[in-house]
Each structure stands twice: as C-alpha cells, then as structure tokens.
Amino acid sequence: MLLIVAAFALTAAFALVVALASGSVAISVPTVVRALGGEGADTTVAIVRELRLPRALAAFAVGGLLAFAGALLQVLLRNPLADPYVLGISGGAAVAALSAMLWGLAAAVMPAAFVGALTSTLIVFGLSRAGGTQSPWTATRLLLTGIVVAAGWGALIALLLAVAPDAQVKGMLFWLIGDLSFAATSLLPWCVLAVAGGVGLALARDLNVLARGEELAVTLGVAVPRVTLLLHALAALATAAAVTVAGSIGFVGLVVPHAVRMIVGNDHRVLIPAAVLAGGALLVLADTLARTLVAPLQLPVGVITALVGVPAFLFLLTRSGARG
C-alpha cells in the first residue's frame, strides 16, 4: 500500500521537475535542483524559484483538489461518473467571475469565483431539501438539482459572453476552459488541500463503507448524516478553491479518481493520497505543455487536460474491461 502511494509521489516529483526544467529557457535537471537550493546564476534561480515554481505548485494544488473533490463526490453520489462540477459549483463560480471581468473588476475575480462557487453549493443543497425532511439529500435528488442548477448557470454564462465586448471574450473563454497563467502566488489552494485532504483521509474508511450505500454504512456504525454533510462541505470547499485559482478545468476531477481506482482499487486510505498526487502531477504536466507547446503562445490548460487524459482514460477503461 505504501509502495503504491510512494510510486505516485515519485511520479508527482518527476512532473514538478519537468515543469521547472521546461520553458522558453530550457534548464537541465541538475541545474534545476541546484537553483531550487539557491545556487547558480541569478537569472536561473529567479526563473526556477520565482517564475516556474509558484505556477507549478499552484497547478499541483489545483489538480490535487479537483481529484480529491471528484473522489469524494463519486462516493457521495454513488456514481463513478460524478465530477467536482456535477452539483453546479463551477457554473456559480463562472457567473460570478465573468461578471467581475465584465465590470472590469480584475481584483475581484478570485473572491467572486469563491463566493459564487459556495453560493451555488448552498442553492443546490437548499433546493434539494426543499421538498421536505423525509429523505434529505438523497443522491438522486442532489444530482438532479445540481444538473438543473448547472443548466441555469450555463444560460447566464452564455448571456454574459453574448453581451461582453469582443476584447474581453477571449479572457472569459480562457477562464471558462481553465487557465493557470494568473494563478501564481496563492496559498489558498495549498491550505485547503492540507485541511480538506487531512480530514478526508481521517474519514477514508468511512468512505469505503459509504461507497456501498448509506444504510449499510449506518449498520456498520458510521454517523451517516454528520459524515456525509462534512464530506460534501470538504468537496465543495476543495472545488471552490480550485475554481477560484484556475477557472473550471474539466476532466481532472472526473477521470483521475476513476483511473486511479482502476489501478489501486477502492480503498480510500490509498485512493485519496494517490488521486491527489496523480491529479497534481497530471495538471503540472498539462500546464507545462500548455505554456511550451506553441510558445510563446499560451494555451488554456483545460484543453491539454482533456487532450492528454481522454486517450489515457479510454486505454485504462478498455484494459480493465478485458480483464473482467
């Protein structure tokens, strides 16, 4: 078990080194390691420590948060196809962030996205419980409410794009696809990842049982209402932090937990750390490609996550299908 997690950690470290070495100025791996320690030419140290490292770390945290939130929501909704945005959280963030952009409040984009994401979560939970307290927050009700609320946000996003001046539309689209160019220096995703990840790990065995139904979890001693509420809050917070930093990057939260589950199984004590590391590594590599592939042009990283991840995921899926 520890070996598996260690292998994922090595992959993540490798991804970070690749990200630090690649760019408009290629730097060799030994030089990168020395520059991290503050040794070497000043410009090299500056490029590695001040330009590439913060962005790579932000990418890692966002990827880890999305994979973490996806893993939790797949269990909470008992659906391997759930992703962090399934309850409409990215739509809420997008409407708030795009509104801030439209009104020229660049500084307000991040706080707006965070507030928008959490507001959307509260709306979805409130509505899915509005019918009465008889069976609060059943997975199906939540999912349906989330999908419908997300559709509503989608309409508002289209409206904002339609009325926006042409000059702003490209920036808005980048945000919608997911982009890390402005992500640089933020402690927010790392703090959320540490807290949410820690609590999630403490509840990992509860997650194993919850994955097989709430009634079974109750009979095995899980305080289901309290634990599911806490898990939903963690997933919402993780997604909100990720969306705030990097816009709505698709695919990572859906596919990373799913793919990691195919490799390590469904024990969340292994799955959660492995998925966080894999999600982080994937997004770091994707962001490295996004800024080097057609340099000096930068691509939105969301395009890369989908282009890299789709074939990889389909490969895993067909392989596991052949096995049984």
Partner 1 sequence: MNGSSPRLSCRGLALRIGGRTLCNALDLDVDAGQCVAVIGPNGAGKTTLIATLAGLRAPAAGTIAYDGTPLGLLAMRERARIRGWVSQDSFDPFPASALEIALAGRHPYLSQFMWESAADVDCARAALARFGVAELAARDVRTLSGGERRRVALAALVAQTPRLMLLDEPTSHLDPGHQIAALDALTELARAEGKAIVMALHELHLAVRYADRVVALDGSDASTGPAGEMLTAARLTALFGTPLVAAGDGRARTFVPA
**Which residue ranges make up the site for partner 1 (CB under 8 A)?**
74-75, 78-80, 202, 205, 208-209, 211-213, 215-216, 218-223, 261-262, 265-267, 269, 324
- Judged by beta carbon, residue 61 or residue 217, the one nearer partner 1 is 217
- Judged by beta carbon, residue 221 or residue 296, the one nearer partner 1 is 221
CB of 70 to partner 1, least distance (A): 13
- Judged by beta carbon, residue 109 or residue 207, the one nearer partner 1 is 207
CB of 324 to partner 1, least distance (A): 5
Picking from 72, 99, 88, 123, the residue whose alpha carbon sits closest to that of residue 240 is 88
State how far the Cα of 160 lies from the Cα of 205, in Å rounded to an integer: 43
- Judged by beta carbon, residue 188 or residue 218, the one nearer partner 1 is 218
Tokens 């307290």 map to which residue? 133
CB of 224 to partner 1, least distance (A): 8
End-to-end CA distance of the chain: 23
CB of 238 to partner 1, least distance (A): 20
State the DSSP string of 275-309. HHHHHHHHHHHHHHHHHHTTTTS---HHHHHHHHH
Q: Which residues contact 107 (CB under 8 A, 6 or more apart)?
A: none
- Judged by beta carbon, residue 78 or residue 141, the one nearer partner 1 is 78
Q: Which structure tokens are listed for 238? A: 């993780």
Q: Which structure tokens are listed for 155? A: 């309409």
- Judged by beta carbon, residue 275 or residue 304, the one nearer partner 1 is 275
CA torsion angle 211 230 129 111 (round to 10):
-120
CB of 243 to partner 1, least distance (A): 26
State how far the Cα of 110 lies from the Cα of 107, in Å rounded to an integer: 7
CB of 140 to partner 1, least distance (A): 13
CA torsion angle 96 153 193 73 (round to 10):
170
